[in-house]
Structure 1
Amino acid sequence: MKKKNQHIDNLTKTDNWIDYLKENSGLPGKRANLELLMIAVDLGDEEFFKSCLKYHDIIAPTNTQGEFVAMCGVTGLGKLVTTGKQEYFSLLKEYASDNRWRVREGVAFGLQIIGENDFEKLIHGIQDWVTGNNYEKRAVVAGLCEPKLLIEKNNSEIVLEILAEIIESINNISDRKGESFRVLKKGLGYGLSVAIVNNPEKGKAIFEKLLNTSDKDIVWILKENLKKKRLEKMDNNWTDRMKNASA
Protein backbone atom coordinates (compact mmCIF):
# COMPACT_ATOMS: atom_id res chain seq x y z
CA MET A 1 0.00 0.00 0.00
CA LYS A 2 2.90 2.34 0.78
CA LYS A 3 4.38 1.79 -2.68
CA LYS A 4 0.99 2.31 -4.32
CA ASN A 5 0.46 5.60 -2.52
CA GLN A 6 3.95 6.65 -3.51
CA HIS A 7 3.21 6.00 -7.20
CA ILE A 8 -0.04 7.95 -6.96
CA ASP A 9 1.70 10.85 -5.27
CA ASN A 10 4.54 10.86 -7.79
CA LEU A 11 2.21 10.80 -10.79
CA THR A 12 0.11 13.65 -9.48
CA LYS A 13 3.25 15.75 -9.00
CA THR A 14 4.88 15.17 -12.39
CA ASP A 15 3.92 16.49 -15.81
CA ASN A 16 5.73 13.67 -17.58
CA TRP A 17 3.78 10.52 -16.80
CA ILE A 18 5.25 8.52 -19.66
CA ASP A 19 8.83 8.95 -18.47
CA TYR A 20 7.73 7.95 -14.99
CA LEU A 21 6.02 4.83 -16.37
CA LYS A 22 9.13 3.90 -18.30
CA GLU A 23 11.46 4.33 -15.34
CA ASN A 24 9.22 2.29 -13.03
CA SER A 25 7.94 -0.26 -15.56
CA GLY A 26 10.07 -3.16 -14.35
CA LEU A 27 11.15 -3.72 -17.94
CA PRO A 28 13.22 -5.09 -19.40
CA GLY A 29 12.70 -8.00 -17.05
CA LYS A 30 10.47 -10.92 -16.18
CA ARG A 31 7.69 -8.93 -14.54
CA ALA A 32 6.09 -5.68 -15.53
CA ASN A 33 4.87 -3.36 -12.77
CA LEU A 34 1.17 -4.24 -12.92
CA GLU A 35 0.38 -2.24 -9.80
CA LEU A 36 1.65 0.90 -11.51
CA LEU A 37 -0.22 -0.02 -14.69
CA MET A 38 -3.55 -0.13 -12.85
CA ILE A 39 -2.80 3.14 -11.07
CA ALA A 40 -2.03 4.82 -14.41
CA VAL A 41 -5.25 3.46 -15.89
CA ASP A 42 -7.27 4.61 -12.88
CA LEU A 43 -5.83 8.13 -13.02
CA GLY A 44 -5.47 8.50 -16.78
CA ASP A 45 -7.80 10.03 -19.34
CA GLU A 46 -8.46 9.61 -23.06
CA GLU A 47 -5.69 11.99 -24.12
CA PHE A 48 -3.15 10.18 -21.96
CA PHE A 49 -4.12 6.73 -23.23
CA LYS A 50 -3.85 7.91 -26.83
CA SER A 51 -0.36 9.23 -26.15
CA CYS A 52 0.59 5.82 -24.74
CA LEU A 53 -0.65 4.09 -27.88
CA LYS A 54 1.90 5.98 -29.95
CA TYR A 55 4.42 3.45 -28.64
CA HIS A 56 3.94 0.95 -31.46
CA ASP A 57 5.99 -2.20 -31.89
CA ILE A 58 8.69 -0.55 -34.02
CA ILE A 59 9.78 1.94 -31.39
CA ALA A 60 8.62 -0.13 -28.41
CA PRO A 61 9.27 -3.83 -29.07
CA THR A 62 8.71 -6.69 -26.65
CA ASN A 63 10.20 -6.43 -23.16
CA THR A 64 11.05 -2.74 -23.38
CA GLN A 65 9.93 0.18 -21.26
CA GLY A 66 7.94 1.45 -24.22
CA GLU A 67 5.96 -1.77 -24.36
CA PHE A 68 4.80 -1.08 -20.81
CA VAL A 69 3.62 2.37 -21.89
CA ALA A 70 1.66 0.80 -24.76
CA MET A 71 0.22 -1.77 -22.36
CA CYS A 72 -1.09 1.05 -20.15
CA GLY A 73 -2.73 2.69 -23.16
CA VAL A 74 -4.40 -0.51 -24.32
CA THR A 75 -5.69 -1.34 -20.84
CA GLY A 76 -7.00 2.21 -20.62
CA LEU A 77 -9.19 1.60 -23.67
CA GLY A 78 -11.28 -0.66 -21.47
CA LYS A 79 -11.83 2.21 -19.05
CA LEU A 80 -12.89 4.46 -21.94
CA VAL A 81 -15.49 1.90 -23.05
CA THR A 82 -17.02 2.03 -19.56
CA THR A 83 -17.53 5.78 -20.00
CA GLY A 84 -19.71 5.17 -23.05
CA LYS A 85 -17.04 5.29 -25.77
CA GLN A 86 -18.09 2.03 -27.44
CA GLU A 87 -15.94 2.76 -30.47
CA TYR A 88 -12.85 1.66 -28.56
CA PHE A 89 -13.99 -1.95 -28.64
CA SER A 90 -12.78 -2.13 -32.24
CA LEU A 91 -9.37 -0.76 -31.29
CA LEU A 92 -9.10 -3.25 -28.45
CA LYS A 93 -9.85 -5.97 -30.98
CA GLU A 94 -6.98 -4.78 -33.19
CA TYR A 95 -4.55 -4.86 -30.27
CA ALA A 96 -5.65 -8.40 -29.40
CA SER A 97 -3.46 -9.50 -32.33
CA ASP A 98 -0.46 -7.34 -31.46
CA ASN A 99 2.87 -9.16 -31.73
CA ARG A 100 3.81 -8.09 -28.18
CA TRP A 101 2.41 -10.44 -25.55
CA ARG A 102 2.19 -7.81 -22.81
CA VAL A 103 0.11 -5.60 -25.07
CA ARG A 104 -2.18 -8.55 -25.64
CA GLU A 105 -2.40 -8.92 -21.85
CA GLY A 106 -3.41 -5.28 -21.74
CA VAL A 107 -6.39 -6.17 -23.93
CA ALA A 108 -7.44 -8.86 -21.44
CA PHE A 109 -7.12 -6.38 -18.56
CA GLY A 110 -9.17 -3.88 -20.52
CA LEU A 111 -11.93 -6.43 -21.08
CA GLN A 112 -11.98 -7.24 -17.38
CA ILE A 113 -12.41 -3.55 -16.53
CA ILE A 114 -15.40 -3.44 -18.87
CA GLY A 115 -16.82 -6.65 -17.40
CA GLU A 116 -16.58 -5.41 -13.83
CA ASN A 117 -18.46 -2.28 -14.84
CA ASP A 118 -21.07 -3.87 -17.13
CA PHE A 119 -20.85 -7.59 -17.91
CA GLU A 120 -23.64 -7.44 -20.49
CA LYS A 121 -21.81 -4.68 -22.36
CA LEU A 122 -18.65 -6.79 -22.38
CA ILE A 123 -20.38 -9.86 -23.82
CA HIS A 124 -22.12 -7.81 -26.49
CA GLY A 125 -18.87 -6.08 -27.43
CA ILE A 126 -16.87 -9.28 -27.95
CA GLN A 127 -19.48 -11.34 -29.81
CA ASP A 128 -17.54 -11.31 -33.07
CA TRP A 129 -14.26 -12.02 -31.26
CA VAL A 130 -15.54 -15.47 -30.29
CA THR A 131 -15.53 -16.47 -33.96
CA GLY A 132 -12.51 -14.36 -34.85
CA ASN A 133 -8.85 -15.26 -35.23
CA ASN A 134 -6.88 -17.23 -32.65
CA TYR A 135 -5.53 -14.13 -30.91
CA GLU A 136 -9.02 -12.65 -30.61
CA LYS A 137 -10.33 -15.90 -29.16
CA ARG A 138 -7.42 -15.99 -26.74
CA ALA A 139 -8.25 -12.44 -25.59
CA VAL A 140 -11.80 -13.58 -24.88
CA VAL A 141 -10.54 -16.50 -22.81
CA ALA A 142 -8.07 -14.39 -20.83
CA GLY A 143 -10.57 -11.59 -20.36
CA LEU A 144 -13.50 -13.72 -19.23
CA CYS A 145 -11.70 -16.31 -17.11
CA GLU A 146 -11.32 -13.97 -14.16
CA PRO A 147 -12.97 -15.05 -10.88
CA LYS A 148 -14.38 -11.60 -10.09
CA LEU A 149 -16.41 -11.72 -13.32
CA LEU A 150 -17.79 -15.18 -12.58
CA ILE A 151 -19.39 -14.68 -9.18
CA GLU A 152 -22.91 -14.34 -10.55
CA LYS A 153 -24.30 -17.66 -11.80
CA ASN A 154 -25.68 -16.19 -15.00
CA ASN A 155 -22.28 -14.73 -15.86
CA SER A 156 -20.46 -18.02 -15.30
CA GLU A 157 -23.00 -19.88 -17.45
CA ILE A 158 -22.47 -17.46 -20.32
CA VAL A 159 -18.69 -17.74 -20.01
CA LEU A 160 -18.78 -21.54 -19.95
CA GLU A 161 -20.88 -21.59 -23.12
CA ILE A 162 -18.45 -19.22 -24.84
CA LEU A 163 -15.47 -21.33 -23.79
CA ALA A 164 -17.17 -24.47 -25.10
CA GLU A 165 -17.80 -22.75 -28.43
CA ILE A 166 -14.17 -21.67 -28.71
CA ILE A 167 -12.87 -25.10 -27.77
CA GLU A 168 -15.16 -26.84 -30.25
CA SER A 169 -14.04 -24.42 -32.97
CA ILE A 170 -10.58 -25.96 -32.76
CA ASN A 171 -11.96 -28.84 -34.83
CA ASN A 172 -12.07 -26.42 -37.76
CA ILE A 173 -8.57 -24.98 -37.35
CA SER A 174 -6.19 -26.56 -39.84
CA ASP A 175 -3.04 -24.52 -39.19
CA ARG A 176 -1.93 -25.21 -35.64
CA LYS A 177 1.79 -24.51 -35.88
CA GLY A 178 1.80 -20.74 -35.33
CA GLU A 179 2.17 -18.61 -32.21
CA SER A 180 -1.48 -17.58 -32.27
CA PHE A 181 -2.71 -21.14 -31.88
CA ARG A 182 -0.12 -21.87 -29.20
CA VAL A 183 -1.30 -19.01 -27.00
CA LEU A 184 -4.97 -19.84 -27.57
CA LYS A 185 -4.37 -23.44 -26.59
CA LYS A 186 -2.35 -22.41 -23.53
CA GLY A 187 -5.05 -19.99 -22.40
CA LEU A 188 -7.75 -22.62 -22.71
CA GLY A 189 -5.50 -25.01 -20.78
CA TYR A 190 -6.23 -23.12 -17.57
CA GLY A 191 -9.22 -20.88 -18.29
CA LEU A 192 -11.84 -23.60 -18.46
CA SER A 193 -11.09 -24.79 -14.93
CA VAL A 194 -11.44 -21.23 -13.59
CA ALA A 195 -14.95 -21.05 -15.02
CA ILE A 196 -15.91 -24.57 -13.89
CA VAL A 197 -15.17 -23.97 -10.21
CA ASN A 198 -17.45 -20.94 -10.27
CA ASN A 199 -20.34 -23.00 -11.63
CA PRO A 200 -19.63 -26.71 -10.98
CA GLU A 201 -22.98 -28.05 -12.17
CA LYS A 202 -22.87 -26.36 -15.57
CA GLY A 203 -19.10 -26.68 -15.82
CA LYS A 204 -18.96 -30.41 -15.23
CA ALA A 205 -21.66 -31.02 -17.84
CA ILE A 206 -19.81 -28.98 -20.45
CA PHE A 207 -16.50 -30.64 -19.63
CA GLU A 208 -17.97 -34.12 -19.96
CA LYS A 209 -19.54 -33.21 -23.29
CA LEU A 210 -16.21 -31.90 -24.56
CA LEU A 211 -14.57 -35.21 -23.64
CA ASN A 212 -16.39 -36.82 -26.55
CA THR A 213 -13.71 -35.82 -29.01
CA SER A 214 -10.83 -37.38 -30.86
CA ASP A 215 -9.09 -34.05 -31.48
CA LYS A 216 -5.68 -34.29 -29.83
CA ASP A 217 -5.44 -30.58 -29.02
CA ILE A 218 -8.85 -30.49 -27.37
CA VAL A 219 -7.89 -33.56 -25.35
CA TRP A 220 -4.69 -31.77 -24.31
CA ILE A 221 -6.68 -28.74 -23.17
CA LEU A 222 -8.99 -30.88 -21.07
CA LYS A 223 -6.11 -32.79 -19.50
CA GLU A 224 -4.29 -29.57 -18.65
CA ASN A 225 -7.33 -28.27 -16.81
CA LEU A 226 -7.59 -31.52 -14.86
CA LYS A 227 -4.09 -30.87 -13.49
CA LYS A 228 -5.26 -27.70 -11.76
CA LYS A 229 -5.61 -27.93 -7.99
CA ARG A 230 -8.76 -25.82 -8.12
CA LEU A 231 -10.66 -28.72 -9.70
CA GLU A 232 -9.43 -31.19 -7.09
CA LYS A 233 -10.57 -28.84 -4.33
CA MET A 234 -13.94 -28.46 -6.03
CA ASP A 235 -14.59 -32.20 -6.41
CA ASN A 236 -11.70 -34.61 -6.14
CA ASN A 237 -13.75 -37.71 -7.03
CA TRP A 238 -15.14 -36.14 -10.20
CA THR A 239 -11.71 -34.90 -11.21
CA ASP A 240 -10.25 -38.40 -10.78
CA ARG A 241 -13.05 -39.86 -12.92
CA MET A 242 -12.42 -37.33 -15.64
CA LYS A 243 -8.68 -38.09 -15.57
CA ASN A 244 -9.45 -41.78 -16.07
CA ALA A 245 -11.92 -41.02 -18.85
CA SER A 246 -9.39 -38.87 -20.71
CA ALA A 247 -6.45 -41.25 -20.30
Structure 2
Amino acid sequence: MSRRERYRDELRAAGPARWPAFLRDHSGLPGPRADLELAQAVADEGEPATFDRLIGTDDEYLVLCGVLGLGRLLAGQTRARASTGIEARLRGHATDPRWRVREAVAMALQRLGDADLPRLLDLGTAWVADPHPLIRRAAVAAVCEPRLLTAPTAAARAVALCERATAGLAALPADRRRGADVRALRQALGYCWSVAVAADPKVGLPAFQALAAVDDADVAWIVRENSRKKRLATLLTGAGAGTRAQPTRKPVRGSAAAPAR
Protein backbone atom coordinates (compact mmCIF):
# COMPACT_ATOMS: atom_id res chain seq x y z
CA MET A 1 0.00 0.00 0.00
CA SER A 2 1.36 3.40 -0.98
CA ARG A 3 1.51 6.34 1.42
CA ARG A 4 -1.26 8.04 -0.50
CA GLU A 5 -3.50 4.98 -0.22
CA ARG A 6 -2.73 4.71 3.49
CA TYR A 7 -3.60 8.35 3.99
CA ARG A 8 -6.88 7.86 2.12
CA ASP A 9 -7.80 5.04 4.50
CA GLU A 10 -6.91 7.18 7.52
CA LEU A 11 -8.90 10.15 6.24
CA ARG A 12 -11.97 8.01 5.64
CA ALA A 13 -11.68 6.56 9.14
CA ALA A 14 -11.25 9.97 10.76
CA GLY A 15 -14.11 11.73 8.98
CA PRO A 16 -13.97 15.26 7.47
CA ALA A 17 -14.65 17.01 10.79
CA ARG A 18 -11.32 15.76 12.13
CA TRP A 19 -9.33 16.43 8.99
CA PRO A 20 -8.00 19.90 9.92
CA ALA A 21 -6.30 18.60 13.07
CA PHE A 22 -5.01 15.52 11.25
CA LEU A 23 -3.62 17.63 8.43
CA ARG A 24 -1.87 20.03 10.79
CA ASP A 25 -0.28 17.09 12.62
CA HIS A 26 0.93 15.42 9.42
CA SER A 27 1.63 18.38 7.12
CA GLY A 28 5.42 18.23 7.49
CA LEU A 29 5.38 21.94 8.32
CA PRO A 30 7.16 23.84 9.58
CA GLY A 31 9.91 22.21 7.60
CA PRO A 32 11.43 22.24 4.14
CA ARG A 33 8.78 20.07 2.51
CA ALA A 34 5.03 19.85 2.87
CA ASP A 35 3.52 16.36 2.67
CA LEU A 36 2.11 16.41 -0.86
CA GLU A 37 1.06 12.76 -0.75
CA LEU A 38 -1.31 13.62 2.07
CA ALA A 39 -2.57 16.65 0.15
CA GLN A 40 -3.29 14.47 -2.87
CA ALA A 41 -5.16 12.02 -0.64
CA VAL A 42 -7.31 14.88 0.65
CA ALA A 43 -8.08 15.87 -2.93
CA ASP A 44 -9.02 12.26 -3.69
CA GLU A 45 -11.36 11.87 -0.74
CA GLY A 46 -12.82 15.29 -0.06
CA GLU A 47 -16.16 16.79 -1.02
CA PRO A 48 -16.71 20.36 -2.31
CA ALA A 49 -17.86 21.60 1.10
CA THR A 50 -14.76 20.14 2.72
CA PHE A 51 -12.49 21.88 0.24
CA ASP A 52 -14.30 25.15 0.88
CA ARG A 53 -13.76 24.82 4.64
CA LEU A 54 -10.07 24.10 4.20
CA ILE A 55 -9.63 27.05 1.84
CA GLY A 56 -11.48 29.28 4.31
CA THR A 57 -8.86 28.77 7.02
CA ASP A 58 -5.72 30.84 7.44
CA ASP A 59 -3.52 27.72 7.48
CA GLU A 60 -1.31 27.54 4.38
CA TYR A 61 -1.22 23.76 4.26
CA LEU A 62 -4.98 23.39 4.68
CA VAL A 63 -5.54 25.93 1.91
CA LEU A 64 -3.10 23.99 -0.27
CA CYS A 65 -5.12 20.82 0.25
CA GLY A 66 -8.39 22.56 -0.55
CA VAL A 67 -7.04 24.16 -3.71
CA LEU A 68 -5.71 20.82 -4.88
CA GLY A 69 -9.18 19.43 -4.31
CA LEU A 70 -10.58 22.03 -6.70
CA GLY A 71 -8.42 20.41 -9.37
CA ARG A 72 -10.20 17.11 -8.85
CA LEU A 73 -13.55 18.84 -9.21
CA LEU A 74 -12.41 20.60 -12.38
CA ALA A 75 -11.09 17.35 -13.84
CA GLY A 76 -14.42 15.67 -13.09
CA GLN A 77 -16.32 18.09 -15.31
CA THR A 78 -16.68 17.46 -19.02
CA ARG A 79 -15.73 20.30 -21.32
CA ALA A 80 -19.33 20.67 -22.46
CA ARG A 81 -20.69 20.89 -18.92
CA ALA A 82 -17.78 22.67 -17.27
CA SER A 83 -18.60 25.58 -15.01
CA THR A 84 -16.33 28.61 -15.14
CA GLY A 85 -16.61 28.90 -11.36
CA ILE A 86 -13.91 26.40 -10.41
CA GLU A 87 -11.49 27.67 -13.04
CA ALA A 88 -12.09 31.22 -11.85
CA ARG A 89 -11.36 30.20 -8.26
CA LEU A 90 -8.12 28.52 -9.30
CA ARG A 91 -7.14 31.59 -11.29
CA GLY A 92 -7.69 33.67 -8.16
CA HIS A 93 -5.56 31.36 -6.05
CA ALA A 94 -2.79 31.53 -8.67
CA THR A 95 -2.02 35.04 -7.40
CA ASP A 96 -1.92 34.08 -3.72
CA PRO A 97 1.12 35.56 -1.95
CA ARG A 98 1.94 32.12 -0.48
CA TRP A 99 4.07 30.11 -2.89
CA ARG A 100 2.78 26.74 -1.66
CA VAL A 101 -0.76 27.76 -2.51
CA ARG A 102 0.38 28.87 -5.97
CA GLU A 103 2.10 25.53 -6.44
CA ALA A 104 -1.14 23.81 -5.45
CA VAL A 105 -2.84 25.60 -8.35
CA ALA A 106 -0.33 24.13 -10.80
CA MET A 107 -0.81 20.65 -9.34
CA ALA A 108 -4.59 21.10 -9.45
CA LEU A 109 -4.43 21.98 -13.13
CA GLN A 110 -2.26 18.93 -13.75
CA ARG A 111 -5.15 16.82 -12.49
CA LEU A 112 -7.17 18.33 -15.30
CA GLY A 113 -4.34 17.46 -17.69
CA ASP A 114 -4.38 13.85 -16.56
CA ALA A 115 -8.09 13.66 -17.35
CA ASP A 116 -8.34 15.93 -20.40
CA LEU A 117 -5.01 17.17 -21.72
CA PRO A 118 -6.39 19.19 -24.66
CA ARG A 119 -8.56 21.12 -22.21
CA LEU A 120 -5.57 21.90 -19.99
CA LEU A 121 -3.57 23.06 -23.00
CA ASP A 122 -6.39 25.38 -24.04
CA LEU A 123 -6.67 26.69 -20.49
CA GLY A 124 -2.91 27.24 -20.36
CA THR A 125 -3.05 29.19 -23.61
CA ALA A 126 -5.78 31.42 -22.17
CA TRP A 127 -3.98 31.94 -18.88
CA VAL A 128 -0.63 32.79 -20.42
CA ALA A 129 -2.38 35.60 -22.30
CA ASP A 130 -3.31 37.17 -18.96
CA PRO A 131 -0.99 40.08 -18.09
CA HIS A 132 -0.56 39.00 -14.47
CA PRO A 133 2.85 37.30 -14.10
CA LEU A 134 1.58 34.82 -11.50
CA ILE A 135 -1.24 33.62 -13.74
CA ARG A 136 1.27 33.13 -16.53
CA ARG A 137 3.46 31.33 -14.03
CA ALA A 138 0.63 28.94 -13.16
CA ALA A 139 0.03 28.19 -16.83
CA VAL A 140 3.59 27.21 -17.67
CA ALA A 141 4.18 25.38 -14.38
CA ALA A 142 1.03 23.31 -14.89
CA VAL A 143 1.68 22.34 -18.50
CA CYS A 144 5.44 21.77 -18.23
CA GLU A 145 5.14 18.44 -16.44
CA PRO A 146 6.92 15.45 -18.09
CA ARG A 147 4.05 13.01 -17.64
CA LEU A 148 1.75 15.32 -19.61
CA LEU A 149 4.09 15.94 -22.54
CA THR A 150 4.43 12.51 -24.09
CA ALA A 151 2.84 13.53 -27.41
CA PRO A 152 4.62 15.91 -29.84
CA THR A 153 1.56 18.14 -30.10
CA ALA A 154 1.50 18.64 -26.32
CA ALA A 155 5.23 19.35 -26.22
CA ALA A 156 4.86 21.93 -28.98
CA ARG A 157 2.09 23.66 -27.05
CA ALA A 158 4.30 23.72 -23.95
CA VAL A 159 7.14 25.32 -25.91
CA ALA A 160 4.73 27.92 -27.26
CA LEU A 161 3.55 28.75 -23.73
CA CYS A 162 7.16 29.18 -22.58
CA GLU A 163 7.88 31.43 -25.57
CA ARG A 164 4.90 33.64 -24.85
CA ALA A 165 5.58 33.89 -21.13
CA THR A 166 9.26 34.68 -21.75
CA ALA A 167 8.41 37.35 -24.30
CA GLY A 168 5.97 38.88 -21.85
CA LEU A 169 8.61 39.00 -19.14
CA ALA A 170 11.17 40.55 -21.48
CA ALA A 171 8.68 43.25 -22.45
CA LEU A 172 8.32 44.48 -18.87
CA PRO A 173 10.18 47.64 -17.80
CA ALA A 174 13.15 47.21 -15.50
CA ASP A 175 11.46 48.64 -12.41
CA ARG A 176 8.48 46.26 -12.81
CA ARG A 177 10.78 43.23 -12.84
CA ARG A 178 11.78 43.77 -9.25
CA GLY A 179 8.33 42.65 -8.12
CA ALA A 180 7.98 39.29 -6.38
CA ASP A 181 5.37 38.17 -8.92
CA VAL A 182 7.74 38.71 -11.84
CA ARG A 183 10.56 36.96 -10.00
CA ALA A 184 8.27 33.97 -9.44
CA LEU A 185 7.49 33.80 -13.16
CA ARG A 186 11.18 34.01 -14.01
CA GLN A 187 11.92 31.24 -11.51
CA ALA A 188 9.35 28.99 -13.19
CA LEU A 189 10.72 29.71 -16.64
CA GLY A 190 14.12 28.76 -15.25
CA TYR A 191 13.05 25.11 -15.34
CA CYS A 192 9.92 24.94 -17.52
CA TRP A 193 11.83 25.46 -20.74
CA SER A 194 13.99 22.40 -20.06
CA VAL A 195 10.92 20.23 -19.48
CA ALA A 196 9.22 21.41 -22.67
CA VAL A 197 12.36 21.06 -24.80
CA ALA A 198 13.23 17.61 -23.47
CA ALA A 199 9.72 16.42 -24.34
CA ASP A 200 10.34 17.07 -28.05
CA PRO A 201 13.84 18.39 -28.84
CA LYS A 202 13.13 18.65 -32.57
CA VAL A 203 10.65 21.45 -31.90
CA GLY A 204 11.96 22.72 -28.60
CA LEU A 205 15.70 23.09 -29.19
CA PRO A 206 15.50 25.68 -32.00
CA ALA A 207 13.08 27.77 -29.95
CA PHE A 208 15.29 27.57 -26.88
CA GLN A 209 18.49 28.30 -28.78
CA ALA A 210 16.87 31.39 -30.27
CA LEU A 211 16.72 32.85 -26.75
CA ALA A 212 20.50 33.24 -26.80
CA ALA A 213 20.11 36.07 -29.30
CA VAL A 214 17.76 38.01 -27.03
CA ASP A 215 19.54 41.01 -25.51
CA ASP A 216 17.95 40.81 -22.07
CA ALA A 217 19.51 39.92 -18.72
CA ASP A 218 16.52 37.99 -17.39
CA VAL A 219 16.23 35.94 -20.57
CA ALA A 220 19.95 35.21 -20.28
CA TRP A 221 19.34 33.98 -16.72
CA ILE A 222 16.51 31.73 -17.95
CA VAL A 223 18.84 30.27 -20.60
CA ARG A 224 21.61 29.60 -18.09
CA GLU A 225 19.33 27.99 -15.53
CA ASN A 226 17.72 25.65 -18.04
CA SER A 227 21.04 24.78 -19.62
CA ARG A 228 22.19 23.47 -16.23
CA LYS A 229 19.30 20.99 -16.03
CA LYS A 230 20.55 17.51 -16.86
CA ARG A 231 17.55 16.78 -19.10
CA LEU A 232 18.55 19.72 -21.32
CA ALA A 233 22.32 19.84 -20.87
CA THR A 234 22.68 16.44 -22.55
CA LEU A 235 20.62 17.59 -25.53
CA LEU A 236 22.63 20.78 -25.88
CA THR A 237 25.88 18.85 -25.78
CA GLY A 238 24.61 16.40 -28.38
CA ALA A 239 23.54 19.26 -30.63
CA GLY A 240 26.91 20.96 -30.25
CA ALA A 241 25.13 23.99 -28.90
CA GLY A 242 26.84 26.56 -26.76
CA THR A 243 23.59 28.24 -25.85
CA ARG A 244 24.70 31.15 -23.74
CA ALA A 245 23.50 34.68 -23.34
CA GLN A 246 25.61 37.43 -21.84
CA PRO A 247 23.64 39.79 -19.59
CA THR A 248 23.70 43.45 -20.49
CA ARG A 249 22.58 44.50 -17.04
CA LYS A 250 22.46 43.03 -13.60
CA PRO A 251 19.79 40.29 -13.56
CA VAL A 252 16.94 40.40 -11.11
CA ARG A 253 17.34 38.08 -8.17
CA GLY A 254 15.15 35.00 -8.22
CA SER A 255 12.62 34.17 -5.52
CA ALA A 256 14.27 32.14 -2.79
CA ALA A 257 10.91 30.77 -1.73
CA ALA A 258 9.70 29.49 -5.08
CA PRO A 259 10.36 25.79 -5.78
CA ALA A 260 12.89 24.70 -8.37
CA ARG A 261 12.66 21.54 -10.41
Moved more, 9-18 or 189-198: 9-18
Q: After superposition, what is the alpha-carbon deviation per residue over 1:23-56, rounded to whole angstroms, capped at 9, x for unaligned?
A: 111112111011101111111121211111112x
State the match for 2:60 in structure 1.
67
State the match for 1:181 in structure 2.
182
Partner AA of 2:179 in structure 1: G
Whether the 8 Å CA contact 1:145–1:194 is kept in 2: the answer is: yes
Q: After superposition, what is the alpha-carbon deviation per residue over 1:71-105, rounded to whole angstroms, capped at 9, x for unaligned?
A: 01111111111122432111100000001111001
Give the Cα separation in 2 of the matches to 1:92 and 1:35. Answer: 20
Does residue 1:12 correspond to 2:17, yes or no? no
Runs of 4+ in 1 over 4 A off after TM superposition: none
Whether the 8 Å CA contact 1:193–1:228 is kept in 2: the answer is: yes
Task: Give the deviation of 1:209 after TM superposition.
Answer: 2.3
Partner AA of 2:208 in structure 1: F
Give the Cα separation in 1 of the matches to 2:119 and 2:3. Answer: 33
1:149 to 1:4, Cα distance in 2 relative to 1, 3 A: closer
Whether the 8 Å CA contact 1:160–1:195 is kept in 2: the answer is: yes
Q: Within 5 A, what are the aligned runs for 1:41-56? A: 41-55=43-57
Q: Within 5 A, what are the aligned runs for 1:144-159? A: 144-159=143-158
Whether the 8 Å CA contact 1:54–1:70 is kept in 2: the answer is: yes
Does residue 1:203 correspond to 2:165, yes or no? no
State the match for 2:23 in structure 1.
21
Q: After superposition, what is the alpha-carbon deviation per residue over 1:1-25, rounded to whole angstroms, capped at 9, x for unaligned?
A: 4544432221111121222111111
State the match for 1:191 in structure 2.
192
Partner AA of 2:220 in structure 1: V
Whether the 8 Å CA contact 2:169–2:182 is kept in 1: the answer is: no
State the match for 1:63 in structure 2.
none
Whether the 8 Å CA contact 1:231–1:239 is kept in 2: the answer is: no
SS across alignment from 2:8: helix
Whether the 8 Å CA contact 1:49–1:76 is kept in 2: the answer is: yes
Give the Cα separation in 1 of the matches to 2:5 and 2:165. Answer: 41
State the match for 1:99 in structure 2.
97
The match for 2:72 among 79, 82, 94 is 79
Number of aligned residue pairs: 236
Moved more, 123-132 or 6-15: 123-132
Gaps in structure 2 of 5+ consecutive residues: 247-261
1:192 to 1:73, Cα distance in 2 relative to 1, 3 A: same
State the match for 1:169 in structure 2.
168
Whether the 8 Å CA contact 2:120–2:143 is kept in 1: the answer is: no
Task: Give the deviation of 1:124 after TM superposition.
Answer: 2.4
Task: Give the deviation of 1:160 after TM superposition.
Answer: 0.5
Partner AA of 2:61 in structure 1: F
Task: Give the deviation of 1:142 after TM superposition.
Answer: 1.2
Give the Cα separation in 1 of the matches to 2:50 and 2:196. Answer: 34
1:209 to 1:2, Cα distance in 2 relative to 1, 3 A: closer
Q: Please, what is the CA RMSD of the aligned residues?
A: 1.6
Q: TM-score, normalised by structure 2?
A: 0.85
Whether the 8 Å CA contact 1:232–1:239 is kept in 2: the answer is: no
Whether the 8 Å CA contact 1:96–1:136 is kept in 2: the answer is: yes
Partner AA of 1:27 in structure 2: L
Give the Cα separation in 2 of the matches to 1:151 and 1:2. Answer: 25
Give the Cα separation in 1 of the matches to 2:120 and 2:25. Answer: 33
1:125 to 1:231, Cα distance in 2 relative to 1, 3 A: closer
Task: Give the deviation of 1:122 after TM superposition.
Answer: 1.3
Q: After superposition, what is the alpha-carbon deviation per residue over 1:90-134, rounded to whole angstroms, capped at 9, x for unaligned?
A: 110000000111100100100111111111111223333212211
Gaps in structure 1 of 5+ consecutive residues: 61-65
The match for 1:34 among 19, 33, 36 is 36
